[in-house]
């Protein structure tokens, strides 16, 4: 993750084609340089028309095991891995032209997006980023899942995962601002073996049937893991993508315990309201 304080975009446009993670349908996405203060702006080709959808919390809805952006009847699904890659690559401003209903999944990780950013090149725009400083503790969750945000001198995320009553493993991983992000970028989407039948019945994960991880009760995968805590790393990737919906960078710590998109959205809603519904003059900001 970049420690650069200037807003950044890409130098040139780049196009990717791939299948959506859940739908399995082909989508073409063109990433274009964005203007300062623009943020991540999706232009979705929908019913022969182009609809604009900002990557901001008021446009976010929960999808099936995913985050979706929606403006009226137009939507683009499974945006979290792409937005997580934007966070890690230090990209603040982009135009994203989407011809389809769901972003390409690659192998279920964010590596294909990171490669696209590398191909396009990244450039600083000479304008300071806005940073939200977490100044108190925020807590969401109940039962088995919790997510916390708290004051810290830097951005840091720790995630803890176990199999609850059905598993016999425990994983924990921490990522800090400035650390090499490839372990998180390469972490593939996963599910537990005991969820497989339900996912198939719901028609989910169609685009990553050959690459996604299935974890057994001992935390072992049906495929060779890229790192021992790959599931935790993927949860961090999801959280980074959902935090991008705030439209700012963050100074603060996050701790997740079996949390997912529902709790991510709940916490992002609280932080959005803390910012004054997007009021960039809120006293919790700094340049």
Residues carrying an active site annotation: 261
Q: Which residues contact 189 (CB under 8 A, 6 or more apart)?
A: 21, 81, 105, 108, 109, 205, 208, 212, 213, 234
Residue that the structure tokens 């304080």 belong to: 5
Across the beta sheet with 94-99, the strand order is: 14-19, 26-33, 94-99, 40-46, 49-54
Unique residue bearing structure tokens 């001198």: 153
- d(CA 84, CA 88) in angstroms, rounded, equals 6
133 with 252: CB under 8 angstroms? yes
Cα–Cα separations (whole angstroms), residue 183 to 31, 120, 158, 228, 230? 23, 21, 14, 10, 8
Q: What is the DSSP letter of 85?
A: H
Query: Are residues 22 and 64 in contact, defined by beta-carbon separation less than 8 angstroms?
Result: yes
H or E element in which residue 115 lies: helix 111-120
């Amino acid at each position: 993750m970049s420690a650069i304080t200037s807003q950044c975009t890409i130098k040139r446009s780049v196009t990717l084609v791939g299948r959506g993670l859940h739908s399995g349908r082909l989508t073409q996405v063109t990433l274009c340089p964005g203007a300062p203060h623009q943020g991540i702006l999706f232009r979705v080709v929908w019913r022969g028309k182009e609809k604009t959808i900002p990557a901001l919390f008021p446009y976010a809805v929960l999808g099936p095991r995913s985050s979706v952006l929606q403006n009226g009847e137009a939507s683009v699904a499974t945006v979290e891995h792409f937005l997580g890659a934007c966070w890690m690559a230090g990209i603040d401003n982009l135009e994203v032209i989407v011809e389809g209903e769901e972003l390409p999944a690659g192998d279920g990780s964010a590596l294909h997006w990171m490669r696209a950013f590398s191909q396009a090149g990244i450039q600083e725009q000479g304008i300071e980023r806005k940073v939200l400083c977490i100044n108190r503790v925020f807590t969401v969750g109940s039962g088995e899942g919790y997510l916390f945000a708290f004051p810290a001198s830097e951005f840091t995320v720790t995630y803890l995962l176990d199999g609850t009553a059905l598993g016999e493993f425990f994983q924990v991983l921490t990522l800090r601002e400035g650390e090499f992000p490839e372990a998180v970028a390469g972490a593939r989407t996963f599910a537990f073996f005991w969820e497989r039948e339900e996912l198939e019945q719901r028609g989910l994960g169609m685009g990553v049937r050959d690459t996604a991880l299935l974890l057994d009760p001992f935390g072992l995968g049906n495929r060779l893991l890229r790192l021992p805590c790959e599931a935790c790393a993927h949860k961090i990737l999801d959280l980074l993508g959902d935090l991008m919906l705030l439209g700012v960078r963050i100074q603060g710590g996050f701790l997740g315990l079996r949390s997912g998109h529902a709790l991510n959205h709940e916490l992002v809603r609280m932080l959005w309201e803390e910012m004054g519904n997007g009021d960039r003059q809120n006293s919790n900001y700094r340049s």
